[in-house]
Amino acid sequence: MQMSQAPPPATDELVALAPDPGTLSERGLRAWTERMAVHPLGETYAVDSQSGARYVVDPAEGSCSCPDAQMRDETCKHLRRVALEITTGRVPPPGEHPTCCSCGAETDPAGEPPVLCPACGVDPGDIVLDRETGDRLVVVRVSPQRADEVEIAATETTVATHPSNNGYPPGDPVVEAVYAADVARRDDPRRYAFPLARLEPADDAAVVE
């Protein structure tokens, strides 16, 4: 008589990805919940804090340039956030080449975030074309913030969720630019925010001072 085999024990346990907030210290909770942007710089990381300040974290040394770490000798929320992002694979471990935050190609560490490869990088003054409209724009600034982090107050959306940006990567850096036609007509032309992938270099890039 053939015996039927018992089904294997269930292994798909229901688990939470984030820890129980009640078990976290104040700094640990802030590391999980505050809005921060972490940028790999080779051995160290730049962390843009929710307050608008930028600090440098060195995981190997266990150091951070913020006042909490410097004055209180504490494991601050920025150190904890870097550890979380390394563990979850959002940023590479120290010493590894970071990847371009637009196309994902491996590239050399940048002095200032965002990390972009030579093919994707644009600089203030570059003339670019809007892939959607063909309009010419002049780059004012490349923000280290992602398109899904920058809000457009007029439309109550983020740059990523604005209808005209449908299909562009939500993790793209945001480029602030002005329309080239407005540069000559206005002393203070209005700035617009675009996901980097929506813009492409023009043939006469980098000619506007």
Please indicate whether residue 115 or residue 77 has the higher confidence score (pLDDT).
77
Looking at every residue in the chain, the average pLDDT score rounds to: 85
88-142 tens-digit pLDDT: 888 889 988 777 888 878 887 766 778 888 888 899 999 999 999 999 999 999 9
The parent domain of residue 100 ranges over 25-119
Question: What is the predicted pLDDT for the residue at 174?
Answer: 95
Block residue for tokens 């899904």: 148
Residue where a domain terminates, one of 119, 147, 173:
119
Please name the residues in contact with 150: beta carbons below 8 A apart, sequence gap of 6 or more.
143, 158, 159, 174, 193
> Which helix H or strand E contains 143, and what residues bound it?
strand 136-146
How many structural domains comprise the chain? 2
Phi/psi for 18 (5° steps) reads -95, 150
Q: What is the pTM of this model?
A: 0.61
Residue 191 lies in a domain: yes
Block residue for tokens 């550890």: 83
Looking at residues 153-178, what average pLDDT do you find? 93
Looking at residues 175-186, what average pLDDT do you find? 90
Question: What is the predicted pLDDT for the residue at 2?
Answer: 44
Residue where a domain terminates, one of 91, 119, 147:
119
Percent of the chain with pLDDT over 90: 49
Looking at residues 68-94, what average pLDDT do you find? 90
3-state DSSP call for residue 187?
Answer: coil
Residue where a domain terminates, one of 119, 145, 167:
119
- Same domain, yes or no, for 150 and 131? yes
Looking at residues 4-10, what average pLDDT do you find? 49
Residue 93 lies in a domain: yes
Question: What is the predicted pLDDT for the residue at 130?
Answer: 96
Amino acid at 124: P
Question: What is the predicted pLDDT for the residue at 100?
Answer: 83
User: What confidence category does residue 16 fall into, taking pLDDT thresholds of 50, 70 and 90?
Assistant: low
What are 91-97's contacts with CB under 8 Å, separation 24+? 91/38, 91/39, 91/40, 91/45, 92/40, 94/42, 94/43, 94/44, 94/59, 94/60, 95/42, 95/43, 96/40
3-state DSSP call for residue 34?
Answer: coil
- Same domain, yes or no, for 32 and 97? yes
Both structure tokens of 123: 């600089």
- CA separation for the pair 138, 109 (Å, rounded): 26
